[in-house]
Amino acid sequence: MTDIAGIQTAIDRFMQSDTRGALLPLLHALQEEFGHVDPAAVPLIADALNLSRAEVHGVISFYHDFRTEAPARHVVKLCRAESCQSRGGAAIEAQLSHQLGVAMGHARKDGQVALEPVYCLGLCAIGPNALVDDRPVARIDSARVVAIASEVEA
Amino acid sequence: MTRVFISKDMASLALGADAVAQAFAEAGCEVVRTGSHGLFAIEPLVEVETDEGRVAYGPVGPDDVAAVLDGSHGARIGAIGDHPFFARQQRFTFARCGVTDPLSLADYAAHGGWKGLEAAIGLSSQDVVDAVKASGLRGRGGAGFPTGIKWQTVLDTPADEKFIVCNADEGDSGTFADRMLMEGDPYCLIEGMAIAGHAVGAGHGYIYIRSEYPFAIEAMREAIARSAGKIAPFTLEVRVGAGAYVCGEETALLDSIEGKRGQVRAKPPLPAIEGLWGKPTVINNVLSLAAVPFILAGGAQAYADVGFGRSRGTMPIQIAGNVRNGGLYEVGFGVTLGELVNEIGGGTASGRPVRAVQVGGPLGAYFPPSMFHLPFDYEAFAQAGGLIGHAGITVFDDSVDMAHMARFAMEFCAVESCGKCTPCRIGSTRGVELIDRIVVKTPRAAGVLETMPQIRNASRSARTHDQEVELLRDLCDTMKHGSLCALGGFTPYPVLSALDHFPEDFGGGNALPEAAE
């Protein structure tokens, strides 16, 4: 059930800050509060910022971070960039995908966990790296893959 | 009570520094959380305050508290400055990183902070710009454009408001200096931006930080709040990216701050004349702005005295990837690639031979060990068909498949392209397809279209392997010269360098053609 009133309240609260170029900060605030940016929020945002719905939709769809559906309960963001690749990232990606039972870039059907790609976390000499629910994890090997998998089942 | 210093840098946290800090706190120590000194191999690092100064131990686990406190721990390093990784560094920008509590204003002032800003305020705007010019500082984001000239343009452009924008969208793989500085010495960046504001007459600044750096965002926001009185009337705010690599391109970044899709703008007009909201804008990388306090405090000449050729001052080089001693190494320009990889970096972490290093992030060229004599210098790298970019070096051992890396470069460009210009948007996808066909040695067969009588100028036969490689080079040429920004324009660097230096990975020894330029 979409909480239109709740979204409107959050938008109204944000608008008091009188931020210039407010669209991205507003989208971040909504995603922070609701876990995702509901498509039903688009006309409300457009109205608040005096933008067209197309402009708002365009921004939401342009940036990888903004989700239009509720996220899985746990999100594992595994780095796929060059430095992690040089440290065996591809093999770890395959193992992690297998252990979690979900393909890279997808959420598992039961909504428990999603495996998402990220391109560099800035920990480039201690890879392969991941963010497990926003906690950085480095030097991922087979044992850590298993540990991550059991952590996100909880 | 014993004072111990433990980093809360994101890399240290990823290696378990929080558990170590907690263990020391439980043992009754006063734990000061600092930034990181920059050598990952010794993290989590603990420095114990003694009468002879700080004594470092690392790596340390949470069970090692007693051994560290009684001095018997096997990983005793001694004074961190004597460690071979740090002994030859020239830390101008990163002098405080790892030493101070990042958010302590008292620490910052006690370690030479605000001296640059105080010196700047005593000077006229033009004098500050002249000092930056005299220092020879060039943009550390990658392009290497002289910072002083950029500032002069903004200073000379009359406007009712001007802006300072800090590009902290450090998306390149193999780079982490911006993150380390923002987490480990945020006031240094704030001071640099305040000096820039004074120099060009700007009242407000934005720091655009990528969302992948949550700890840097938090540190900068807190530091801005605490130092607001110190930099007034100049004001600052943090803007957070949203996972678009292309927003590291300066004009895309400006559009993103304005609340739009991060699409690249055509230049001219330069951001220095028509930047954020159409106003004159200084947009500089974190490292450029963070170098400024030293230049004003220590003197432009002291900065310019270090360096190589037209690359003056120091570069915080980031040694990353499959390397034993990865980390941040700030040193004057001119150090060779081989010294960085083999001597300082200690070779690969896997123990296998180095096969390639990529310098400058995903858009930088791959170099074989035969080119390790190259000095770290903007011009030397440009001449060798590469770039130093944001000074990240990613080391690969001999298990790397260079055709795969070339394909990855194209794939990354396709994923991250902003979509504004065709060579980047379409070319990258065609590039992935081409490399796929080259690798499996199944060149494109003659299509239905080519065999139609109306099509007069297309080849009607299937392509050969060599023709496919030639087409890839042609595509790279189009992307290089036809793209609006560095994403499409520089993606050919990793692709062509892989093709030139490692032809065996592309299914056969294609001779390197004579340089056409």
Complete DSSP assignment for B287-342? HHHHHHHHHHHH-HHHHHTSEETTEESEEEEEEEES-TT-EEEEEETT-BHHIIII
By Cβ distance, the residue of A84, A122, A138 closest to B179 is: A122
Cβ <8 Å between B260 and A27: no
The closest alpha carbon to B148, from B286, B298, B300, belongs to B300
* pTM, rounded to two decimals: 0.95
Instruction: Enumerate chain A positions whose Cβ falls within 8 A of a Cβ in B.
Output: 20-25, 27-28, 49, 55, 58-59, 62-66, 79, 81-87, 118-127, 129, 131, 134, 136-139
Burial of B451 (C-beta count, 10 Å sphere; 0-12/13-18/19+): exposed
Cβ <8 Å between B326 and A28: no
Virtual torsion, Cα B332, B337, B339, B340, nearest 10 deg: 70
Nearest-Cα residue of chain A relative to residue B36: A123
CA distance B310 to B327: 25
Cβ <8 Å between A122 and B416: no
Question: The complex's ipTM?
Answer: 0.97
Phi, psi angle pair for A49, to nearest 5°: -100, 5
Nearest-Cα residue of chain A relative to residue B212: A121
By Cβ distance, the residue of B239, B261, B408 closest to A59 is: B261
CA distance B6 to B489: 42
A21 neighbourhood in chain B, CB within 8 Å = 239, 257-259, 277
Nearest chain B CA: its distance from A61 CA (Å): 9
End-to-end Cα separation, chain A, in angstroms: 26
Q: What is the pLDDT of residues A52-73, one digit of tens each?
A: 999 999 999 999 999 999 999 9
Half-sphere exposure of B37 (CA within 13 A, CB side): 28
Cβ <8 Å between A83 and B320: yes
Cβ <8 Å between B322 and A20: no
By Cβ distance, the residue of B245, B318, B397 closest to A119 is: B245
A55 neighbourhood in chain B, CB within 8 Å = 260
Q: What is the pLDDT of residue B511?
A: 44
For testing contact with chain B, the best of A83, A85, A123, A131 (most B CBs within 10 A): A83
Nearest chain B CA: its distance from A1 CA (Å): 26
Nearest chain B CA: its distance from A82 CA (Å): 6
Angle between helices B402-416 and B427-439 (to 10 degrees): 160
Return the structure tokens found at B219. 């540190």
Nearest chain A CA: its distance from B12 CA (Å): 9
For testing contact with chain A, the best of B9, B13, B42, B173 (most A CBs within 10 A): B173
Q: What is the pLDDT of residues B102-130, one digit of tens each?
A: 999 999 999 999 999 999 999 999 999 99
CA distance B391 to B261: 28
Q: What is the pLDDT of residue B512?
A: 47
Cβ <8 Å between B412 and A119: yes
User: β-pairing, B354-359 with B366-367?
Assistant: antiparallel
Q: What is the mean pLDDT of residues A24-47?
A: 97
Q: What is the pLDDT of residue B214?
A: 96
By Cβ distance, the residue of A24, A122, A138 closest to B242 is: A24
For testing contact with chain B, the best of A45, A59, A65, A82 (most B CBs within 10 A): A82
Q: What is the pLDDT of residue B369?
A: 97
Number of H helices, E strands in chain A: 7, 5
Cβ <8 Å between B320 and A125: yes
* 517 residues of chain B, pLDDT tens digit each: 899 999 999 999 999 999 999 999 999 999 999 999 999 999 999 999 999 999 999 999 999 999 999 999 999 999 999 999 999 999 999 999 999 999 999 999 999 999 999 999 999 999 999 999 999 999 999 889 999 999 999 999 999 999 999 999 999 999 999 999 999 999 999 999 999 999 999 999 999 999 999 999 999 999 999 999 999 999 999 999 999 999 999 999 999 999 999 999 999 999 999 999 999 999 999 999 999 999 999 999 999 999 999 999 999 999 999 999 999 999 999 999 999 999 999 999 999 999 999 999 999 999 999 999 999 999 999 999 999 999 999 999 999 999 999 999 999 999 999 999 999 999 999 999 999 999 988 888 877 777 788 888 777 788 899 999 999 999 999 999 999 999 999 999 999 999 999 999 998 654 444 443 3
**C-alpha separations of B128 from B123, B287, B297, B299 in Å:** 6, 18, 11, 11
For testing contact with chain B, the best of A36, A52, A62, A92 (most B CBs within 10 A): A62
The closest alpha carbon to B100, from B110, B90, B91, belongs to B110
Nearest chain B CA: its distance from A109 CA (Å): 24
CA distance B258 to B256: 5
DSSP letters for B335-371: -BHHIIIIIIS-S-SSSSPEEEEEESGGGSPEE-GGG
- How many CB atoms within 10 Å of residue B147? 26
By Cβ distance, the residue of A21, A63, A127 closest to B257 is: A21
Buried b (16+ CB within 10 A) or exposed e, B292-304: bbbbbbbebeebe
For testing contact with chain A, the best of B212, B218, B236, B237 (most A CBs within 10 A): B212
Q: At residue B128, what is the residue type?
A: V
Q: What is the pLDDT of residue B142?
A: 87
Cβ <8 Å between A126 and B321: no
| Residue B180 · residue B94 · CB < 8 Å | yes
Cβ <8 Å between A23 and B260: yes
A86 neighbourhood in chain B, CB within 8 Å = 321-322, 394-397, 400
Cβ <8 Å between B394 and A124: yes
A134 neighbourhood in chain B, CB within 8 Å = 214
Label residue B35 left, alpha or beta by phi (over 0 means left) and psi (-120 to 50 means alpha).
Answer: beta
Cβ <8 Å between B259 and A62: no
pLDDT bracket for residue A109 (50, 70, 90): very high
Nearest chain A CA: its distance from B39 CA (Å): 9
Q: What is the pLDDT of residue B6?
A: 98
Cβ <8 Å between B243 and A27: no
Q: What is the pLDDT of residue B453?
A: 82
Nearest chain A CA: its distance from B169 CA (Å): 11
Cβ <8 Å between A85 and B260: no
| Residue A119 · residue B172 · CB < 8 Å | no
CA distance A112 to A108: 6
In three-state secondary structure terms, B134 is helix
A23 neighbourhood in chain B, CB within 8 Å = 259-260
Q: Quote the radius of gyration of chain B (alpha carbons, Å).
A: 24
Nearest-Cα residue of chain A relative to residue B405: A82
B405 neighbourhood in chain A, CB within 8 Å = 82, 85
